[in-house]
Amino acid sequence: MSNNISVETVVVVGAGLAAGKAVQELRECGFDGRLVLYGAEPHLPYERPPLSKGYLMGDDGLEAGLVLPSEWYDAHDVVLRLGTRVTGIDPVTRTVTAGADRQVYDRLLLTTGARPRQLAMADDSGAPVAYLRTVEDSDHIRSRLRAGRRVVIVGGGWIGLEVAAAARRAGAEVTILEAADLPLVRVLGPEVARTFATLHQAHGVDLRVNTQITAITCNGGRALVTLADGSSIEADLLVVGVGVAPDSALAEAAGLRTDNGIVVDEQLRTSAPEIFAAGDVANAYHPRLGRHLRVEHWDNAIGQGVVAAQNMLGKEVSYDRLPYFFSDQYDLGMEYLGNVGPDGYDQVILRGAPEQGTFTAFWLRDGQVLAGMHANDWDAMDPIRLIVGRRHVAGLADQSVDLTQVAADLD
């Protein structure tokens, strides 16, 4: 361990992807002290993307999504306390409480993730309603996806669209209710979001935008959704995907600084020096972007879990990876790198054939490339990584110049 600090016991609260990568990194960095992992769910740490992709469609088992196999935890002497919800943290005495159990720590990592935002009128309706966050949620939804069933999805974000793709593959009739002009418009802007709208419509999804739900009731065991225009639609299952909220209640109760998650510095340290946070719950200062940012994606959980582990052992490593995420819907796979930020963009450069589902896109402001993505152009990701963040990239809008050459010509 670095900097001659004394760390005998590390406790990790939350058993998701960030937690799994953190305990792995702790052992690989040579930490041989007591390592305790608490998880409210009964499962070993697992990745969540398959829950709306391969696992939901029945292509992959849960084992494929595990961060580490069960034997690894045994071999590396990790104390697993799964199915155990932590109820309190005391930064003064450095203790974690889980029911009657009290565990002291020298360093504590919070990876408590996020919770789906609830839709009260759906929850109170008595109708069949589902959210997607856990293995059990995915199991429940998958059991309802079959030919002849109607699924209504509230929210046209990534989760909603991926569930829609899985439901259509299973033969279910699907309606998406989106409040905005287009699905994903807040993330991608209209120039690219339009592609995803067209994609789902081409696969038979009834996409309804600019919708406002006025009531949800239960009618003969089905959901009856009434819209502001007076129309209504019935569903065998109503899937609500209206975003998530960071699960920062433990941190807030412990007196840590919270604001849209647990506020941490670029080394993922909270307002209590011995406590760190990583993953969906961490609102981290990003040195490359110059502002705090909370990221709810797979790659961020991996990277922050590793960096938090290193810094708990006395290293001084800044987390500066640009946000990255991916999605698979029908025959379209995409990857996105960067962050447009609160000031937005003033230019979008599209290359390729968006109407055919194979293209790259770049978002710029004042000549600086803020973000880039590809759809079904897997060779594009390496040049995208080189281009994002650069200013006044020559040839970027010239489709006669290969993207690889554009990246190679960078100064």
Residue 121 is which amino acid? M
Could you give the CA distance from residue 211 to residue 129 in angstroms, rounded to a whole number? 19
Using an 8 Å Cβ cutoff, are 139 and 43 in contact?
no
pLDDT along the chain (411 residues), means of 10: 70 97 98 97 95 94 94 98 97 96 97 97 97 97 96 97 97 98 96 96 98 97 97 97 97 98 98 98 97 96 98 97 96 97 96 93 98 97 97 96 96 76
Q: Do domains 9-115+244-312 and 118-240 have the same CATH topology?
A: yes
- Residue 411 confidence (pLDDT): 76
DSSP states along 246-286: E--HHHHHTT--BSSSEEE-TT-B-SSTTEEE-GGGEEEEE
Structural fold of domain 331-408 = Enolase-like; domain 1 (3.30.390)
Q: Model-level pTM?
A: 0.95
The structural domains of the chain, with segments of one domain joined by +, span 9-115+244-312, 118-240, 331-408
Could you give the CA distance from residue 119 to residue 208 in angstroms, rounded to a whole number? 18
Using an 8 Å Cβ cutoff, are 53 and 132 in contact?
no
Alpha-carbon torsion angle 209, 214, 218, 219, nearest 10: -80
DSSP states along 6-31: ---EEEEE--SHHHHHHHHHHHHTT-
- CATH 3.40.220.10 for domain 118-240: no
Residue 335 is which amino acid? E
Alpha-carbon torsion angle 383, 385, 389, 395, nearest 10: 10
Using an 8 Å Cβ cutoff, are 281 and 295 in contact?
no
- CATH 2.160.10.10 for domain 9-115+244-312: no
Could you give the CA distance from residue 389 to residue 254 in angstroms, rounded to a whole number? 37
Under DSSP, the state recorded for 258 is: B
